[in-house]
Amino acid sequence: MRHIRSFTAVLLTFISLSFCTGAYAQKFTELAQTPPMGWNTWNKFKCRINEDLIRATADAMVTTGMKDAGYEYVNIDDCWHGERSLLGFIQPDPKRFPSGMKALADYVHSKGLKLGIYSDAGKTTCAGYPGSQGFEDQDAAMYAHWGIDYVKYDWCDTRGLDAKTAYTKMRDAIYKTGRPMVFSICEWGSNNPTQWAPEIGHAWRTTSDIYQCWDCYLGDPKTAALSVLQILDLQTGLRDFAGPGRWNDMDMLEVGNGISDSQGRAHFTLWAMMNSPLITGNDLRNMSAATLSTLTNRAVIALNQDKLGIQALRVLRDGDIEIFAKPLAGGDWAIAFLNRGRQARTYSFNWVEQDIVDKLSKRELRFSKMIYQWQELWSNTKGSTAKKFDQVIPAEDVIVYRLTPSKH
Ligand code: GLA
């Protein structure tokens, strides 16, 4: 009886949507004013997912303190799908999700969290499950009925489709349901998304998939899985397109998935500095203390969640050392020193000789004119830019400062 009632509700929503297809549609512009934060099943679990994992992860997000640190979305990636009903309505796999998606969303919401789901613009998803092509309105109506808050939309099996058109179709379908859902575009940066995605989605992937490696080369960077540093290097030229409600998505985090603690710290800091969504991809039920403390470093998270929403710029590269700067709300800046290499490096940086000018935010750092107080966000040490930076930057690690102008 319950199933019949809920099925009728979706059917009615869907029929009413079919009558207003001419309605003005857009994305939900109030969402993702800062980069979305959450967790996703794919990096760690691939298709080994079920409702118990989602519930336990939601529990862990609360008990570990991750929710308090800002994580909100619990996102189910590929492989949740069962078959479509005779009328074309998508259903979850009854073995993996026997209680159904609505019950799962209710549970996740009861924890003060939000539930995300995954689909694909083509006929099948990347793992071969039913995609949304031809079923966009019906799928969006079903997600809204279940209480979904976030839709990641992939790009497999889309030969012959135009990306902007296909993503607009799903954006409109979501909008017409009336339920605000973050729309996360996942076409791997392969159709110039910066030219159209900011109007359509809240974030767009900039590269092909990440995998658990700091600096590895596995073939063609356009199609192969990419390591942390390769993804970082592919962000050149993208920062002008991002801002509140529209983010360059550098893919989900691999912190805690087999990279070292220092690599994880640097990976996390860089994704935060670049305003990428911070979607963790490890097993939250079972994390080391180091992984948890990396993922919940509130001072680093605050760089990512800064209201100004300006992505970091690369200031210089000097061998394995790279420096990134990020203007922050209220006159502060963040400066990160990355050591890409396998050797610790002693590095000197005389602040007062440096000028950093950011054309995008029209902000400047002129250390000869203004002294800044700094706090290093992993060690909590403090100092000022009046004194030269002369430091060991550990191998495959990062030092990141928050600079605050000194009061005169
Ligand atoms: C693509 C996406 C990944 C993941 C998988 C699922 O590769 O880029 O993030 O969603 O599909 O099959």
Listed in sequence order, the residues at least 6 apart from 341 whose beta carbon sits closer than 8 Å to its beta carbon are 319, 320, 395, 396
pLDDT computed for residue 389 by the predictor:
87
Are 332 and 388 contained in the same domain? yes
Residue carrying the six token digits 């403090």:
382
Are 386 and 272 contained in the same domain? no
Instruction: Decide whether any atom of ligand 1 lies within 6 Å of the 127 Cβ.
Output: yes
- For residue 154, how far is its CA from the centre of ligand 1 (angstroms)? 7
- Residue pair 305/34 in contact (Cβ under 8 Å)? The answer is yes
- Cα(189)–Cα(248) distance, rounded to whole angstroms? 10
Are 254 and 121 contained in the same domain? yes
Q: Which of the listed residues 154, 226, 251, 253 should we mutate to test ligand 1's pocket, taking the one with most ligand atoms within 8 A of CB?
A: 154
Are 298 and 318 contained in the same domain? no
- For residue 204, how far is its CA from the centre of ligand 1 (angstroms)? 13
**Beta partners for residue 37, in sequence order:** 278
Residue 212 amino acid letter: Q
Shortest-distance atom of ligand 1 to CA 42: 4
- Residue pair 64/292 in contact (Cβ under 8 Å)? The answer is yes
Are 133 and 232 contained in the same domain? yes
Instruction: Decide whether any atom of ligand 1 lies within 6 Å of the 154 Cβ.
Output: yes
Are 178 and 205 contained in the same domain? yes
DSSP result, 84-140: EPTT--EEE-TTT-TT-HHHHHHHHHHTT-EEEEEEESSSB-TTSSB--TT-HHHHH
- What is the reported pTM? 0.96
Last residue of a domain, one of 304, 337, 365: 304
- For residue 61, how far is its CA from the centre of ligand 1 (angstroms)? 23
Helix axes 2-19, 163-177, angle to 10 degrees: 120
Q: Is residue 154 flagged as an active site residue?
A: yes
Q: Atom 6 of ligand 1 has which residue's CA nearest to it?
A: 78
> Taking every pair of C-alpha atoms in the chain, what is the biggest distance, in angstroms?
74
Are 254 and 348 contained in the same domain? no
Instruction: Decide whether any atom of ligand 1 lies within 6 Å of the 47 Cβ.
Output: no
Instruction: Decide whether any atom of ligand 1 lies within 6 Å of the 185 Cβ.
Output: no
Q: What are phi and psi of 144, to 5 degrees?
A: -65, -40
Listed in sequence order, the residues at least 6 apart from 373 whose beta carbon sits closer than 8 Å to its beta carbon are 382, 383, 384, 385, 403, 404, 405, 406
pLDDT computed for residue 1 by the predictor:
45
3-class DSSP state of 297: coil
Last residue of a domain, one of 277, 304, 331: 304
CATH number at residue 393: 2.60.40.1180
* Range(s) of the domain holding residue 379: 313-405
- For residue 210, how far is its CA from the centre of ligand 1 (angstroms)? 10
- Cα(183)–Cα(202) distance, rounded to whole angstroms? 6
* The one catalytic residue among 59, 93, 157, 209: 209
- Cα(40)–Cα(45) distance, rounded to whole angstroms? 9
CATH number at residue 191: 3.20.20.70
In this structure, how many other beta carbons lie within 10 angstroms of the beta carbon of residue 275? Answer: 29
Residues of the chain with pLDDT under 50: 1-2, 22
Give whole-number Cα distances, 130 to 88, 90, 93, 122, 164, in Å: 11, 8, 11, 9, 21
The three-point CA angle 375-381-385 to 5° equals 50
Are 166 and 48 contained in the same domain? yes
Are 189 and 277 contained in the same domain? yes
The three-point CA angle 212-278-344 to 5° equals 55
Are 233 and 335 contained in the same domain? no
**pLDDT digit string, tens, across residues 165-183:** 999 999 999 999 999 999 9
Count of the separate structural domains present in the chain: 2
- For residue 173, how far is its CA from the centre of ligand 1 (angstroms)? 22
Last residue of a domain, one of 256, 281, 304: 304
- Classify burial at 28, counting beta carbons within 10 Å of its beta carbon; exposed 0-12, middle 13-18, buried 19 or more: middle
Q: Which of the listed residues 153, 157, 209, 222 should we mutate to test ligand 1's pocket, taking the one with most ligand atoms within 8 A of CB?
A: 209
In this structure, how many other beta carbons lie within 10 angstroms of the beta carbon of residue 232? Answer: 24
Instruction: Decide whether any atom of ligand 1 lies within 6 Å of the 209 Cβ.
Output: yes
Are 321 and 352 contained in the same domain? yes
- Residue pair 206/222 in contact (Cβ under 8 Å)? The answer is no
**pLDDT digit string, tens, across residues 202-245:** 999 999 999 999 999 776 666 689 999 999 999 999 999 999 99
Listed in sequence order, the residues at least 6 apart from 99 whose beta carbon sits closer than 8 Å to its beta carbon are 51
In this structure, how many other beta carbons lie within 10 angstroms of the beta carbon of residue 160? Answer: 5
Residue 131 amino acid letter: G
Q: Is residue 77 flagged as an active site residue?
A: no
Are 216 and 346 contained in the same domain? no
pLDDT computed for residue 158 by the predictor:
98
Helix axes 101-110, 51-63, angle to 10 degrees: 10
